[in-house]
Structure 1
């Protein structure tokens, strides 16, 4: 099992302005979380929004924020046929 981190920039009205994923694959969720926290550290306002399910960062004086998501990836070879 691997974990991947994606990001998107969200503007006013929850409009996605840009999105992508980091090429890294993490074997442990803890390593993916550490990677996200490292990225968040450079921004003045950041944290986890439990209700909406993302890690986010932004600046208090800007209407945009960057959101990170950690997704579990199950290799296709691990999925049983017909499942």
Structure 2
């Protein structure tokens, strides 16, 4: 925003003073910091979600392995009792 002022001096002459006002750029810096914070938060959210999926898959795999072993043991016990 530009502001012009006309100033009269004591000896009767006048001159024009131009005042330019510019922002300090603080808003842009804050926006960049917030953007970086959102990106870092999103990264950690996706990494955590991936580790939860891996943990769930490992538990499912272990449960299926235990199920197969229990079926084999049950079959062996049934065969031994006949």
Range into which the TM-score falls when normalised by the shorter chain? under 0.3
Q: Decide which structure has the larger Cα Rg and report it.
A: 2
TM-score by length of 1: 0.24
More helix per residue: 2
| Larger relative contact order (Cα-Cα within 8 Å, sequence gap ≥ 6) | 1
More strand per residue: 1
